[in-house]
Amino acid sequence: MKRNVLIVLSLIIVVGAGVVLTVSMSPTKELNVTINESPNKPVILIVIDSLMNEPLQKAILDNKAPALSFLINNGYIEPQVISSYPTMSVTIDSTLLTGTYANEHKIPGLIWFKEDENRMISYGSGLSEMWHNGIKNVALDSVFRLNNEHLSKDVQTIHEQLATRNIQSASINGLLYRGNVKHSLHVPKLISTANLLPKEIITNGPTLLSLGALAQYNPHNDRHKFIWKRMGVNNDFTVGELEYLIQHKKLPPFTLAYLPDADAPIHKNGPGDIKAIEDADQSLQEMLNSYSSWEEAIQQATWIIVGDSGQSTVKDDKETALIDLTELLHHYSIWERENTDGQIAIAINERMAYVYVNDKNVELTEVVNTLKQDERIHFIAWKDNETNYVVSPKSNQSLTFSPNGPHVDEYNQSWFINGDKTILDFTINNQGFVQYNNYPDALARLHGALHSQEGSFLIVDAKPSFEFIGEHSHDHAGGGAHGSLHKVDSIVPLIVVGTDEKPTFNRLADMKKWITRLVDGS
Ligand SMILES: [Zn+2]
């Protein structure tokens, strides 16, 4: 069946703290939507931001999550799935969509320094940080360059891979959405005149691309009109779009839908926030209600619900909770938009940060030794060609590792390993087999971040309860934060209804292969 759909597009830039800059666009676009022709049931993947198993179990016990209970009772829950690194949304979404870590997909974090352009890339974080990185750049980086330039062309997203087999897919409110179909976004005069964005943006998305006020299908979905609702990048809008696709029988073989709302309250109230799960469950109830019954919903589609990262409680007292990297590195001049010759550039990703040594006269080890003085930092890592180095304030030794060596880990990856393994809390047994503890899939994930970009830089990773700050970063003292390699930030639950097939390993990096298999049966 083919049908032309009139859509209204507008452009939206979301900023972590919930601040939004919006740009509306009004092109009319013809879309040929074919309904599901795959022999398999359509797969609906719902990502719930910051969904964690412990508060989920508590919500279920308190009878506050009927939809999640229903799905678990009719399928299964895998409570411990490993996220990506850094545990920040865009890096995680890239892993989920491409089945690779940051060394391959090349999205290093929410904030990173692009050496060849001598500028900070931010996909939207705190208001002050956005201001310092330039609103125009944040707008272009988050909506356009993230998908069309920064995400490596050497990897394929689920959407792209399905398209090679002529299988259509949809993305609802996902910031990472790259696909094979050109979508034209027309920026209104006011904004293009203000020179914030070009008049027209052509972006590559899946067959159906829905992104808040940027692009919508349900003509009655007015759940994005208010700035306090983040212009459509919210649970209600996602529900409205999915409902529309289901009720109009336009659900493609694969749909990725994001429920972003839980992140903000958990940052504010800490990881124990049950209300955030109640709200996400409410959205799931509405989705299931799009069918004649919940039983019908799980008959008609395969449902996969997954979190993106955990969160760690951050101590109340700002003095102890917040590791101020500008203060620790005050002997150096710090890169700023107004001081692009700064010796050191700092890109804060909450409980993880990249520290770039831009001045060739500054020794990396000198910066490492300065940072090593702070006991709240769990480890400092850097690379020299293929060899990765890790040190910690708690150890006098270092750990070095690189891929393709004699030691095989739980995920069939092999490594050369030397030095103090306690730094990343793993052991090697008599057979040379690597087993991880507090830092799940530590070697591959850290290797990923260390090889995610060019330049001379190091990674700092905070112990649980602590968070990094720089001159302009927003902090979460007394609440929750993520970003680190530690399991508190890295473990998410997975709920599956409609198939007994499982991913090869319980990692978000293994989801793409599994999902494409579920969708096309190959
Ligand atoms: Zn967050």
Asked whether the beta carbons of 143 and 215 are under 8 A apart, the reply is no
Rounded to the nearest angstrom, the distance between the alpha carbon of 91 and the centre of ligand 1 is: 12
pLDDT at residue 24 tops 60: no
- The pLDDT, as a whole number, for residue 318 is 95
Q: What is the pLDDT of residues 336-392, one digit of tens each?
A: 988 999 999 999 999 999 999 999 999 999 999 999 999 999 999 999 999 999 999
Rounded to the nearest angstrom, the distance between the alpha carbon of 481 and the centre of ligand 1 is: 6
- Concatenating the DSSP letter of every residue in 254-284 gives EEEEEE-TTHHHHHHH-TT-SHHHHHHHHHH
Rounded to the nearest angstrom, the distance between the alpha carbon of 428 and the centre of ligand 1 is: 33
* Pairing between β-strand 352-357 and β-strand 344-349 as defined by DSSP bridges: antiparallel
**Rounded to 5°, angle at Cα 441 from 261 and 46:** 25
Token digits for 201?
A: 């943006």
Rounded to the nearest angstrom, the distance between the alpha carbon of 386 and the centre of ligand 1 is: 31
Rounded to the nearest angstrom, the distance between the alpha carbon of 482 and the centre of ligand 1 is: 6
Rounded to the nearest angstrom, the distance between the alpha carbon of 468 and the centre of ligand 1 is: 14
User: Which amino acid, residue 155?
Assistant: V
Rounded to the nearest angstrom, the distance between the alpha carbon of 483 and the centre of ligand 1 is: 8
Token digits for 505?
A: 């390993």
Rounded to the nearest angstrom, the distance between the alpha carbon of 15 and the centre of ligand 1 is: 11
Distance of CA 228 to the CA centre of its chain: 22
- The pLDDT, as a whole number, for residue 521 is 80
Look up tokens 């980086």; give the residue: 141
Rounded to the nearest angstrom, the distance between the alpha carbon of 357 and the centre of ligand 1 is: 27
Rounded to the nearest angstrom, the distance between the alpha carbon of 50 and the centre of ligand 1 is: 7
Q: What is the pLDDT of residues 248-279, one digit of tens each?
A: 999 999 999 999 888 888 999 999 999 999 99
Token digits for 506?
A: 């319980």
Task: Please report how many Cα atoms fall inside a 13 Å half-sphere around the Cα of residue 480, on the Cβ side.
Answer: 23
Rounded to the nearest angstrom, the distance between the alpha carbon of 394 and the centre of ligand 1 is: 28
Q: What is the pLDDT of residues 139-169, one digit of tens each?
A: 788 878 999 999 999 999 999 999 999 999 9
Rounded to the nearest angstrom, the distance between the alpha carbon of 474 and the centre of ligand 1 is: 12
Rounded to the nearest angstrom, the distance between the alpha carbon of 269 and the centre of ligand 1 is: 12
**What's the CA gap between 57 and 64, in Å, rounded?**
10
Rounded to the nearest angstrom, the distance between the alpha carbon of 366 and the centre of ligand 1 is: 32
In a 3-state reduction of DSSP, which class is residue 77?
A: strand
Rounded to the nearest angstrom, the distance between the alpha carbon of 356 and the centre of ligand 1 is: 23
Pairwise pLDDT comparison (400 vs 31), residue with the higher score? 400
- Residues bordering ligand 1, an ion, CB closer than 5 Å: 263
Q: What is the pLDDT of residues 468-487, one digit of tens each?
A: 999 888 899 999 999 999 99
The residue among 271, 259, 268 whose CA lies nearest residue 307 is: 259
Rounded to the nearest angstrom, the distance between the alpha carbon of 17 and the centre of ligand 1 is: 9
- The pLDDT, as a whole number, for residue 14 is 37
pLDDT band at residue 212 under the 50/70/90 scheme: low
pLDDT at residue 10 tops 50: no
Q: What is the pLDDT of residues 80-135, one digit of tens each?
A: 999 999 999 999 999 999 999 999 999 999 999 999 999 999 887 655 555 566 66
The CB density around residue 269, as the number of other CB atoms within 10 Å, is 16
Rounded to the nearest angstrom, the distance between the alpha carbon of 267 and the centre of ligand 1 is: 6
**What's the CA gap between 370 and 374, in Å, rounded?**
8
